[in-house]
């Protein structure tokens, strides 16, 4: 069984914030251990000694979720823990209590927190700092890091290794795309092409950070905006729904800018040996056809199942006694 040092997940032991906030925070070894462990749990979900036994995980979701919320709840239970779930209107934050005070209370009662909120990742770091407990970013404005771990684990399961694979991401440069860029940038020989509509790419700061890390490892991360710029050979075509959870687009006619990214059999025929990935939920007839999503080249349902086992890997790594804030 691969052991992961929890203090290396994001910040060192003496830091005031711990958890999984962004894949850009992780060292190569730490991320790869999580990816490998996700695959081990995919093979055998009982391969653990109940590391969360006697511990309580808070599951805070202020935005809709099917896979991520179910994955982390189930993962905590499978690892021997107990769960307290919070919805969008359950906390006194709704009546004016400060984030800092909420974190202090969490720290006195919980052992860790998994959170999806509408705010920036800085809010999750505040909860961790004030509570003295690890916090997992289960999708925020900037990034969806646990989706990235799941995606890398799915690719590794299929190909046997991540080194040298070529990935074409198709769609909006959303928080899943950011996580994919930061995640793949840790590995050597990678070619990631982000094919996004003009004006809908990943933020320049994230693109620059991923490019810099990738270049140090002999990898390439690029962003393009036309099909003519797409590579001739890819191993993975990865898409996502065009309307990212919890967001809206300022242009009422935005769908027209996305039409050329519709993935049907004709689109996939450009890369006859590539597999298809989709982080779900899927809007059939919008970003993808049912025939492709349900076809024999699709890894979407393996990817969905990997959400659970990657959540188990993250929670196992964070299973540690905490020093609750006073």
Domain annotation for the chain: domains and CATH numbers: 6-142+307-318 (3.40.50.1370), 145-305 (3.40.50.1370)
Name all contacts of 264-268 with Cβ < 8 Å and 24+ positions apart: 264/288, 264/289, 264/291, 264/292, 265/289, 265/291, 265/292, 265/295, 267/237, 267/292, 268/237, 268/292, 268/297
d(CA 157, CA 38): 9
pLDDT tens by residue, 73-115: 999 999 999 999 999 999 999 999 999 999 999 999 999 999 9
For strands 191-195 and 56-61, give the pairing. unpaired
So what's the pLDDT on residue 250?
78
pLDDT for 245 beyond 90: no
Please give the model's pTM, rounded to 2 decimal places.
0.92
pLDDT in tens, 14-69: 446 899 999 999 999 999 999 999 999 999 999 999 999 999 999 999 999 999 99
Model confidence at 10: pLDDT above 50: no
Question: What value does the mean pLDDT take over residues 119-144?
Answer: 96
CA quadruple 185, 198, 282, 165: dihedral sign: negative
Q: Alpha helix (H) ranges present in 9-140?
A: 28-43, 67-78, 99-109, 121-131
What is the pLDDT of the chain when averaged over all its residues?
A: 92
> Binning pLDDT at 50, 70 and 90, where does residue 8 land?
very low
Dmax (CA) for the chain in angstroms is 60
């Amino acid at each position: 069984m691969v052991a992961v040092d929890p203090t290396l997940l994001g910040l060192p032991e003496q830091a005031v914030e711990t958890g999984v906030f962004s894949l850009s925070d992780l060292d190569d070894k730490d991320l790869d251990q999580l990816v490998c462990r996700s695959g081990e749990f995919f093979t055998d979900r009982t391969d653990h000694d109940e590391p969360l036994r006697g511990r309580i995980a808070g599951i805070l979701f202020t935005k809709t979720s099917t896979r991520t919320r179910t994955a982390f709840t189930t993962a905590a239970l499978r690892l021997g823990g107990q769960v307290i779930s919070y919805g969008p209107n359950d906390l006194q934050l709704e009546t004016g209590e400060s984030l800092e005070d909420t974190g202090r209370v969490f720290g006195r009662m919980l052992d860790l927190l998994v959170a999806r909120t509408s705010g920036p990742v800085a809010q999750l770091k505040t909860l961790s700092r004030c509570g003295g407990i690890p916090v997992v970013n289960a999708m925020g404005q900037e990034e969806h890091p646990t989706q990235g771990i799941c995606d890398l684990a799915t690719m590794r399961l299929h190909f046997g290794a991540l080194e040298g694979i070529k990935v074409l991401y198709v769609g909006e440069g959303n928080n899943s795309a950011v996580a994919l860029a930061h995640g793949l940038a840790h590995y050597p020989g990678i070619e990631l092409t982000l094919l996004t509509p003009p004006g809908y790419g990943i933020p320049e700061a994230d693109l620059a950070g991923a490019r810099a890390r990738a270049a140090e490892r002999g990898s390439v991360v690029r962003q393009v905006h036309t099909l003519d710029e797409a590579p001739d050979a890819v191993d993975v075509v990865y898409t996502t729904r065009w309307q990212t959870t919890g967001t809206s687009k300022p242009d009422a006619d935005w769908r027209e800018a996305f039409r050329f990214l519709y993935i049907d059999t004709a689109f996939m025929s450009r890369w006859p040996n590539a597999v298809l990935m989709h982080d779900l939920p899927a809007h059939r007839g919008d970003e993808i056809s049912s025939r492709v999503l349900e076809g024999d080249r699709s890894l979407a349902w393996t990817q969905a199942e990997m959400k659970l086992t990657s959540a188990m890997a993250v929670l196992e790594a964070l299973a540690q006694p905490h020093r609750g804030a006073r």
